[in-house]
Structure 1
Amino acid sequence: MDWKNFQALLSGVNKYSTAFGRIWLSVVFVFRVLVYVVAAERVWGDEQKDFDCNTRQPGCPNVCYDQFFPISHVRLWALQLIFVTCPSLLVVMHVAYRKERERKHRVKHGMEAKLYENTGKKHGGLWWTYLLSLFFKTGIEIAFLYLLHFIYDSFYLPRLVKCNSKPCPNQVDCYIGRPTEKKVFTYFMVGASAFCIVLNICEIMYLIFKRISRVARQMKRQTRITVSHHNDCKNNACCNCHLPMNRLDIKPSLRIKEDMRASAPNLSWAP
């Protein structure tokens, strides 16, 4: 994994994030990526070498290690970090698509023409893309936490594990290297992941609440404009008629007869 490109990706996404999103990026990069690169990889670097069993049966330590560590913690966390940051690419790609549309629109209609007020502003389709990326990140975090708990039956690492798989002659005891240190880092990474889930949920609620508030304000403004127009029309004596008021007071049938007499004055009309 190229961590410089990874950092550049996170910095690019930071421009289009909310306050919760910026905190999430800081937690991912500082408390997860740096801890993973600086400390976690070294702690798990010699895990199979320090996995010691009380037997010299060839192949038994390897089988027991594979039984208890089907996938290493650090490799699982590396996959988690990659998958968690991938949804952020959706936002970057959508903003790039908007910029390209804006460029083509200006080439076609002139440099003063604007298709978007701000290509990075979360309105329309970009809002839905950003919200969808948050749901993806939350689902991925929960899925990896469940996978880690399912593989190891808990987040706790014991000092001693018992194994009776072949080719072990009987049940043997195996000891994990640096169990306390590994347990501390496991709890730390799980806690950071849980905190990121909370941040994602808060950001989802913030975006939805902000969108509902904006729609409510627009509806209230539209209602106010409609009521204002209605009151202006009501204050006029007759806003939709061009006839004098004395003609409006005449019944419709009499008014029709008067119009016909005016158009044909030579004819005799019955009263």
Structure 2
Amino acid sequence: MSWMFLRDLLSGVNKYSTGTGRLWLAVVFIFRLLVYIVAAEHVWKDERREFECNVRQPGCETVCFDHFFPISQVRLWALQLIMVSTPSLLVVLHVAYREGREKRHRKKLYVSPGMMDGGLWYTYIISLIVKTGFEIGFLVLFYKLYDGFRVPYLLKCDLQPCPNTVDCFISRPTEKTIFILFLIITSCLCMVLNFIELSFLVLKSHPVRWLNLRERLQSHELITH
């Protein structure tokens, strides 16, 4: 899978982000994307072939594997990376819309098309909320699908066409558990950074918005009187 588009997308958002947002981008690049590409894909490369059960009944291993791993973990991580990164596309599109308006009107309509004000502020806030929601949703999905964040050594399976309860073994469970915990920790770190950035933007803009509202009310009172 090519990650060039995702990399270019995140790099484009970097110049519109706050300091915390840039730190989030660094965590996604170094501790999630690079670790996924360099290591995680190789650890789970042959997960189906290396899944073994102590029975030779045709179809038993396939049924048990599909039961314990309904979705490939490595593909689910790839989907998670894509989903938590694409809300940043909202910011890029909004800035492109501003730049397009200035070109059509051939004059300066904004202090800077990338400045965090007006509608762009709301777009950025929405992107942070959506990213955090995706992070929480995928963590819950991981936990529900795989019954926790730990890869066991032994799995008991009694599904048809297995003749009885059979023992199934997963290759390198300790190594896979370490990678799972690492990715879960980085996901939680990204959520914390999103929350910090969201709080910073809201608290920073609150006094300014309150003053603007107060000025509007005062001007309205002067007009009415």
Q: TM-score, normalised by structure 2?
A: 0.93
- The answer to whether structure 1 residue 62 and structure 2 residue 45 are counterparts is no
Q: 1:188 aligns with which of 160, 182, 201?
A: 182
Residue type at the aligned position of 1:20: T
Q: How many residues align?
A: 218
Q: Secondary structure of 2:8's match?
A: helix
Give, in whole Å, the separation in 2 of the partners of 1:81 and 1:59: 33
Write the mapping of 1:118-267 to structure 2, written as runs, cut at 5 A: 118-216=112-210
- The answer to whether structure 1 residue 88 and structure 2 residue 88 are counterparts is yes
- The answer to whether structure 1 residue 23 and structure 2 residue 17 are counterparts is no
Give, in whole Å, the separation in 2 of the partners of 1:213 and 1:200: 21
**TM-fit CA distance, 1:43:** 0.2
Residue type at the aligned position of 2:20: F
Give, in whole Å, the separation in 2 of the partners of 1:74 and 1:97: 36
Q: Secondary structure of 2:87's match?
A: helix
**TM-fit CA distance, 1:125:** 0.5
**Larger radius of gyration between Structure 1 and Structure 2:** 1
Q: Secondary structure of 1:185's match?
A: helix
**TM-fit CA distance, 1:9:** 1.0
Give, in whole Å, the separation in 1 of the partners of 2:152 and 2:17: 40
**TM-fit CA distance, 1:49:** 1.1
Give, in whole Å, the separation in 2 of the partners of 1:163 and 1:35: 32
Give, in whole Å, the separation in 2 of the partners of 1:70 and 1:219: 53
Higher RCO (C-alpha under 8 Å, 6+ residues apart): 2
Measured against aligned partners, the alpha-carbon deviations of 1:141-195 in whole angstroms (never above 9, x if no partner) come to: 0000000001011111110000000000000000101100000000001111011
Measured against aligned partners, the alpha-carbon deviations of 1:14-42 in whole angstroms (never above 9, x if no partner) come to: 01111111011110111000000000000
Q: 1:117 aligns with which of 108, 111, 117?
A: 111
Measured against aligned partners, the alpha-carbon deviations of 1:71-100 in whole angstroms (never above 9, x if no partner) come to: 111100000011111100000000000000
**TM-fit CA distance, 1:46:** 0.8
Give, in whole Å, the separation in 1 of the partners of 2:76 and 2:180: 11
Give, in whole Å, the separation in 2 of the partners of 1:216 and 1:57: 71
Give, in whole Å, the separation in 1 of the partners of 2:149 and 2:123: 33
Give, in whole Å, the separation in 1 of the partners of 2:76 and 2:4: 20
Q: Secondary structure of 1:162's match?
A: strand
> 5+ residue gaps in structure 2?
220-225
Give, in whole Å, the separation in 2 of the partners of 1:219 and 1:125: 16
Give, in whole Å, the separation in 2 of the partners of 1:203 and 1:38: 29
Give, in whole Å, the separation in 1 of the partners of 2:2 and 2:49: 27
**TM-fit CA distance, 1:4:** 1.9
- The answer to whether structure 1 residue 2 and structure 2 residue 5 are counterparts is no
- The equivalent of 1:75 in structure 2 is 75
Q: TM-score, normalised by structure 1?
A: 0.77
Q: Secondary structure of 2:66's match?
A: helix
Q: Secondary structure of 2:167's match?
A: strand
Give, in whole Å, the separation in 2 of the partners of 1:47 and 1:197: 29
**TM-fit CA distance, 1:216:** 4.5
**TM-fit CA distance, 1:50:** 1.1
**TM-fit CA distance, 1:206:** 0.5
